[in-house]
Amino acid sequence: MTKNLTVRLKDNVATDAEALARVEGKSLNETVQLALIEAVERRRNDPEFKARLTRIIEEDQELLDRLAK
């Protein structure tokens, strides 16, 4: 399954992404997709990010538990 998104980039970021894609012989779509995948993986391996994520999950669970009563 795929999902279409519209992303607004500053001109210099878009230009850099286009150049990177061209040099790597990939489409702009593939280049942006790989960058996002790499960003997610970095965060999954970041202990501070995981701690913040756990805190948010716990807060959300508390809210859901209150609403379910």
Residue 29's pLDDT is 96
pLDDT of residue 1: 92
Helix residue ranges per DSSP H, 1-69: 11-24, 28-44, 47-68
Query: 50 to each of 3, 6, 15, 30, 56, how far by Cα in Å?
Result: 26, 28, 32, 27, 10
pLDDT on residue 49 = 97
Confidence (pLDDT) at 7: 93
CA torsion sign for 7, 11, 13, 15 is positive
Convert the pLDDT of each residue in 10-59 to its tens digit: 999 999 999 999 999 999 999 999 999 999 999 999 999 999 999 999 99
Quickly state the pLDDT bin for 61 (edges 50, 70, 90).
Answer: very high
The pTM of the full predicted model, rounded to 2 decimals, is 0.74
